[in-house]
Amino acid sequence: MAVINDLKVFKDSAWLGWQMEANWTDPFLFMTYSMVKPIAGTLILVLMYIVVTGGETANAYFSYMYVGNAMYMFVAEVLFGVTWVIHDDREHYMTLKQVYIAPMNFYVYILGRSAIKIAITSFGVFITLVFGVMALGVGINLAEVDWLLFSASLIVGLISICILGLALGGISFLTAKHSIGINEGLAGVFYVLSGVVFPITILPTWAQSISRVLPVTYWMEAMRRGLEPAAMRELTSTAGFDVTGMSGVSDMTMMVYLLASVLVFFILSIGVFRFTDYIARKKGKVDWTTAY
Amino acid sequence: MTESYIARNLRAVRGRAYPRLIGSTREPSWFIFDVILPLFTIAGYAYVYKFMDARAELVGYVVLGGAMTAFWLNILWSMASQLYWEKEIGNLPLYLMAPISRMSILAGMAVGGLFETTIQAAITLAIGAIAFNVVFSLASPLLLIVVFVVTMIALYGMGMMFASLYLLLGREAYHLSALMMEPVYFASGFYFPVKHLGFWAAAGASVIPITLGLDALRQMIFPGAIEDAFLSLNTEIALLCGLCVIFIVLSRYALRYMENLGKKTGRLTLRWQ
């Protein structure tokens, strides 16, 4: 019974999320909006690359960087989506207290609202990858894609990030409107330390040690191996050494690590969320507004 | 005793700036979220250049550009969206009823936001410079201050104009602000020299004051930046001065027009559209 109720909450909150995300404009404008943002973000890196190299984009490092950046959208947008629910409901629509006291699972409500963000981001990632392959020669060959590795790592990684987002959502209870910076900041940590747009071997040794603990590092590597296996092989063979710093880690090890991280993040995020929720109620911050 | 109109408006400026200044001290968490954590994104871009063995100036551009993003974010989320936000939380009618110029409210927001954001950007710049061994070469500090001030006046003038235009928007306001993040980082060359976009694209992007401001600042503080410059320093300063006047004047007209339009259509107090 509880599961059926949770599924209903999930469906309704996902529908609410979709209405809030999309019904402010017509579908065409919304689709354009959903494409412009990710492509512009990617073009920043493309231009940085072109400034240095002079424009040769059909090589392994460019593909590595491009695919990593496209996939990173999931990290940034999902973390943003989850924490934004708290901020938007509390400070903008001022409905958080009503939602909070409603007879439903609050986690499920947040996850439902975030699910729609994942769907929109998936569209952005898809468009970015298509643009990269068609216009910039990014090395994705559909016949070579390891679909099992790619889809399994994508799903497990997304679950892991959603759960981490719940912890951040809890922290958002306690912060002023700067909370928008939490998700972007934490996403930034992953951006640097997880080998998103450059191999982790360029980092100082101490930072590499942190990189090897972060699940996003394994997530990015697994998705790249699945999506662009040839480019990953070429990158290592061109450099002549283990340039990604991950060659010694097998696909299976990565998947086990990702699954373990889901479990750890789950325990961690429940703990953080409960603690911050308790503090927020104690300090009267559930219906707090900080619109200065 | 009645106070003069000017004194009343200056008090309004101070009154609107006050919550922003005091807010940052009451809620110190902004230091972590707005200063420390964004450094990681800057580091990400800097390492991309380092991995490609790029010129040292390019890493410096990333650090400077990363620091300047604070101002653009402040314009989008704390200036442009602010009147819309005030409408949503019910403060806007109070502002409109007060016997002061609406420009004083906008100026107060700008002063408060500018103060906090300048501290934020300065810390980001300092930490970024130390972390990535960025070498600054400052030949004319006075001119640097002039360029920075002119850029900020033009930028916040643009923010004031946007605030008026956003006034009649509903939830589009948020989406519009979100849409103007990455595309503007790209078009204004926050992380690479804007001239690489090509002359006409860079010229179009120069409508956003931070494009010319960043290019001018780079020319003044990085030894090899002249070859990356879009226009000469003097031309950029002259254009920025022009943008200051244009945006301040436009913001005044836009505010009056939008307020009247809002009154006619009954949308000034309409919330949660």
Take residue B205 and report the two structure tokens written for it: 């992007």
Least Cα distance to B40 among A94, A263, A196 occurs for A196
Least Cα distance to A257 among A157, A184, A179 occurs for A157
CB distance from B243 to chain A under 8 Å? no
Residues 6+ apart with CB under 8 A from B12: B98, B100, B101, B104, B105, B108
Take residue B41 and report the two structure tokens written for it: 């994104």
How far is B249 from B242, CA to CA, in rounded Å?
11
How far away is chain A from the Cα of B4, in angstroms, using its nearest Cα?
Answer: 27
- Global confidence as pTM: 0.85
Given this model, what pLDDT does residue A292 score?
52
Given this model, what pLDDT does residue B237 score?
96
Closest in A48, A175, A181 to B48, CB measured: A48
Least Cα distance to B157 among B86, B75, B65 occurs for B75
How far away is chain B from the Cα of A54, in angstroms, using its nearest Cα?
Answer: 10
How far is A45 from A41, CA to CA, in rounded Å?
7
Given this model, what pLDDT does residue A69 score?
92
Percent of chain A with pLDDT over 90: 34
Least confident piece of the model among A88-92, A99-103, A111-115, B8-12? A88-92
Residues 6+ apart with CB under 8 A from B61: B191, B192, B193, B218, B222, B225, B228
Given this model, what pLDDT does residue A177 score?
62
Given this model, what pLDDT does residue B154 score?
94
The B residues from 166 to 195 touching A (CB cutoff 8 Å) are 170-172, 175, 178-179, 181-183, 185-187, 190-193
pLDDT per position as a tens digit, B85-127:
788 778 888 888 888 888 888 888 888 888 888 888 898 899 9
Residue predicted with more confidence, B155 or A238:
B155
- A197/B197 CB distance under 8 A: no
Secondary structure element (H or E) that encloses residue B126, with its range = helix B102-131
How far is B56 from B60, CA to CA, in rounded Å?
7
Residue B227, Cβ density class (10 Å: 0-12 exposed, 13-18 middle, ≥19 buried):
exposed
Residue B141, Cβ density class (10 Å: 0-12 exposed, 13-18 middle, ≥19 buried):
exposed
Take residue A245 and report the two structure tokens written for it: 């710093």
How far is B45 from A42, CA to CA, in rounded Å?
12
Domain ranges of chain B: 5-265
Task: Output the average pLDDT for chain A.
Answer: 86
Q: What is the 3-state secondary structure (H, E, C) of A229-257?
A: HHHHHHHHHHHCCCCCCCCCCCHHHHHHH
- A198/B186 CB distance under 8 A: no
Mean pLDDT across A120-146: 90
- A40/B193 CB distance under 8 A: no
Residue predicted with more confidence, B24 or A251:
A251
How far is B163 from B237, CA to CA, in rounded Å?
25
Do A167 and A266 form a contact (C-beta atoms < 8 A)?
no
Domain ranges of chain A: 2-282
Residues of chain B with pLDDT under 50: 1
How far is A238 from A84, CA to CA, in rounded Å?
42
